[in-house]
Amino acid sequence: MTSKRVLICGSIAFDTIMVFEGKFKDQILPDQVHILNVAFLVPSLRKDWGGCAGNIAYSLKMLGGNPVPMAAVGHDSTGYQERLNKLGIDTSCLRVVADEYTAQAFITTDLDDNQITAFHPGAMSHSHLNTVEQAGDVALGIIAPDGRDGMIQHAEQFAQAGIPFIFDPGQGLPMFGKPELTRFLELATFAAVNDYEAKMLCERTGLSLEDIAAKLEALVVTRGAEGSWVYHQGQRHTIPCVKAEQIADPTGCGDAYRGGLLYGLTEGMGVVEAAKLASLMGSLKIACKGPQNYHFTRDEIASRFESAFGHKPW
């Protein structure tokens, strides 16, 4: 049986990860930052497929879901699109902007795990050219970090089409003030944020987490190693963090979590059970470097779920 189609509005991006085998603080003179001119030798470099829409789609597809990423990509996206096609992921809603590069993040990490990141949005800034209507029949959606105008318009379009969706502002949250965030919460069915974003969301809207949850079917707050909270029907459910085999790279863990959440919701698991599956997907991802380099079968995922929670997920 074919799984229900899930529209994933968000970014498609390339991630370039570099490691500086020293400490930034030893190279930057605090009293000379007004004439800063530094270069870091980075012997270690890795290029990854990334972007929230790509990462979420990867997680959802691994579970047997039917993701449809909707994003604006650049003239350099051919290889990424070919990869998605090989994975069996629908690429019909990827719009190529011919005179732009695909969004790209350049991340340099030092030995203290400090990071300096440069992000080029490129084609992502044109995400508003895509419309929810063009995706056709969709059971559920998610608005992940993307171009500002695109996020606003896609929320309105989901609501107008009567399609339930998750509001997942992520690192895009600072782009919005109280009016926009309040409107997102009015339109959304669910919201998913990490603990830092949750505090920012409360500060910017003037609402408590309980107030925000009351506007939604459920609010999910991820808390790293502390697990996650699911606010649902006036209760706060604590979802434990599934112990990972190792801690290799947190990049993309939130997206893996959201893939699990989307799968559970489309398969009728209920939001609390879906969050348990989401927690497992995050733990599987964190043990591998890169946001799309972990590989597990449905049977393997089901076995690990049973070990973690004492019952089978399906």
Q: Which residues pair with 235 in a beta bridge?
A: 232
23 within some domain:
no
Nearest of 197, 190, 149 to residue 170 by alpha carbon: 197
Split into its structural domains, the chain has a count of 1
Report residue 113's pLDDT band, with 50, 70 and 90 as the boundaries: confident
**Which tokens in the block code for residue 22?**
């020293």
pLDDT at 257: 98
* Model confidence pLDDT, tens digit, residues 67-112: 999 999 999 999 999 999 999 999 999 999 999 999 999 999 899 9
* Model confidence pLDDT, tens digit, residues 146-181: 999 999 999 999 999 999 999 999 999 999 999 999
Report residue 1's pLDDT band, with 50, 70 and 90 as the boundaries: low
DSSP of 65-123: -EEEEEEEEETT-HHHHHHHHHTT---TTEEEETTSPPEEEEEEE-TT--EEEEEE-GG
232 three-class SS: strand
pLDDT at 114: 87
* Model confidence pLDDT, tens digit, residues 233-291: 999 999 999 999 999 988 899 999 999 999 999 999 999 999 999 999 999 999 999 99
Look up the CATH number of the domain holding residue 192. 3.40.1190.20
137 within some domain:
yes
* Model confidence pLDDT, tens digit, residues 187-226: 999 999 999 999 999 999 999 999 999 999 999 999 999 9
**Cα→Cα distances 240→168, 221, 224, 300, Å:** 21, 12, 10, 20
102 within some domain:
no
37 within some domain:
no
115 within some domain:
no
292 within some domain:
yes
pTM of the model: 0.95
Report residue 3's pLDDT band, with 50, 70 and 90 as the boundaries: confident
The owner of tokens 């801690």 is 247
Whether the CB-CB separation of 196 and 169 falls below 8 Å is answered with: no
pLDDT at 250: 87
| Alpha helix segments (H runs only) across 134-245 | 148-161, 178-187, 195-205, 209-214
Which domain, by its residues, includes 293?
5-11+52-71+125-304
Could you tell me where the beta strands, DSSP code E, fall in 152-290? 165-167, 190-194, 218-222, 228-232, 235-239
Between strands 235-239 and 228-232, the pairing is: antiparallel
109 within some domain:
no
The owner of tokens 């990424």 is 80
Q: How many CB atoms lie within 10 A of CB 231?
A: 21
